[in-house]
Amino acid sequence: MPKSRQSQETVLLLNVDSHRAIWNLPAGTVEEIGARFPRIKVLKTSEKTPLRAAIAQADILYTWHLPREVFPLAKRLQWVHTPAAGVDHLLYPTFVQSDVLLTNSRGLAGDAMADHAFSLILALARRLPDAVRFQVQHRWGQEVLWTTPPPPVALQGKVLGIVGLGGVGAHLAARARAFGMTVVATRWSSTKKPASVAKVYPPGELSELLAESDFVALCPPLTAQTRGMIGRKELRRMKKSAFLVNVGRGELVQDAAIIAALREGWIGGAALDVFAREPLPRNSVFWNLPRLLITPHYAGTYPEHVTRATALFLENLKWFLAGKTKRLKNLVDKGRGY
C-alpha cells in the first residue's frame, strides 16, 4: 500500500457534496465502497464536518476542490481524484511540488462538450440568437437576417479550426466532418491524427490555423502555455467573417481583446461558455456585446457525469490500494498541467 504504515488505517475522504444535485455523489456510493473495500475507513464531508476539519485524517481525497489554504493540513494525503477534467484550480505551487498523486475525470464529458460546442457553431452559422430575440419581440425578422451582416451560412465546405485536439476536440472533429466541414487542428502531443482531421498544426503554427478557419473552437486545458493564448494579434489574424467558440476555460482568451474584436467587428462573432470571472457579473460588458452568444458554463454538464466519474475513481481505488499506482487512469502530470 503506497506510503501508508501497515498499522495505520487507510482513510478515504469523500468531498463531493454540492448544493446542486447533479454534482452530488450517486446514492449508495458509501455503501458500495464499504462492501468492495472493507479495510478502509470512509469519511464524508458535510456542513458539520467540512473539508478543513476532516482533511488531516485523509490518505485519499475524492473532491471537486482542495483550496491552497487547506492543503497544508493534509499531512497524510497521498492521492487526490477529482470528478472534473480541468485541474488548473488544483495546481498551485505547494500541491504541484508535493508527492501527492492527482487523477482527473478527463474524457467523460467529451461527448457533451462536443455537442455543446457544435450547437454553438450551428447557432452562430444560422444566426439563431437573432431569431430568438425576434421571437421574444414578436417580430418577423426575416429581412434583417437577409440584409445585415453576418449572413446565415451553410457549414458544408467551411473550415473548423480546433485548438487542442484532445478528447473534446476529437469528438468535435467527428461532428464537424459529418456536416461536411474541413477540420484542421493544433495539438501538443504527437499521437496519431484522427481520420476526421485534415491537418494537424504544431502549437507554434496557431497563426496559420486561425487564418484558415471559418470557425475556431478552443478546447485545450488551461496551462501556463495556453493562458491568454488568444489576444489582439490572434483575433486580428482571423477572417473578418470567422467565429470564435470557447468551451475550454475563460482565461484562454484575453478579455480586452475579445471585447474590442466584437465591438469593432474584427471577426464575425463569438460564442463563449466560459469566462475568467464566473458567475459573469450582472454589470459585465459581455452581456451587451454585439454578435456574442453566451452560455453559463455548462458545456460539459449531463446527468450521468458524476456517476461515471465515481466509477472511474473506484476502479483507480482498487489499483491504489493494491500499490499499483502506475495503473491509475488519467494520472495528471502536475508539471505540465494535464
Catalytic residue IDs: 249, 278, 297
pLDDT higher than 50, residue 188: yes
Asked if residue 243 lies in contact with residue 216, where contact means CB atoms within 8 angstroms, the answer is yes
Compute the average pLDDT of residues 20-35.
92
- Residue 47 binned pLDDT confidence (cut-offs 50, 70, 90): confident
What amino acid is encoded at 144 in this protein? Answer: V
- 190: which DSSP letter? -
CATH T-level assignment (fold) for domain 110-294: Rossmann fold (3.40.50)
Asked if residue 235 lies in contact with residue 223, where contact means CB atoms within 8 angstroms, the answer is no
pLDDT reported for residue 3? 46
Phi and psi based region of residue 337 (left: phi greater than 0; alpha: psi -120 to 50; beta: remaining): left
pLDDT reported for residue 232? 98
pLDDT reported for residue 189? 76
Asked if residue 93 lies in contact with residue 317, where contact means CB atoms within 8 angstroms, the answer is no
pLDDT reported for residue 142? 97
Neighbouring C-beta atoms of residue 192, cutoff 10 Å: 7
Three-point CA angle 272, 278, 282, nearest 5°: 90
Report how far residue 6's alpha carbon sits from residue 203's, in angstroms, rounded to the nearest whole number. 47
Hey, what's the cell of 169? 476536440
- Residue 49 binned pLDDT confidence (cut-offs 50, 70, 90): confident
Whether 110-294 and 11-108+302-327 are alike in CATH topology: the answer is: yes
pLDDT digits (tens, 9 = 90+) for 266-300: 999 999 999 999 999 999 999 999 999 999 999 99
Q: Where are the domains of the chain?
A: 11-108+302-327, 110-294
pLDDT digits (tens, 9 = 90+) for 137-183: 999 999 999 999 999 999 999 999 999 999 999 999 999 999 999 99
Compute the average pLDDT of residues 123-131.
97
pLDDT digits (tens, 9 = 90+) for 79-88: 999 999 999 9
Secondary-structure class of domain 11-108+302-327 per CATH:
alpha beta
Count how many residues are written for the chain: 338
Write down the pTM of the prediction: 0.92
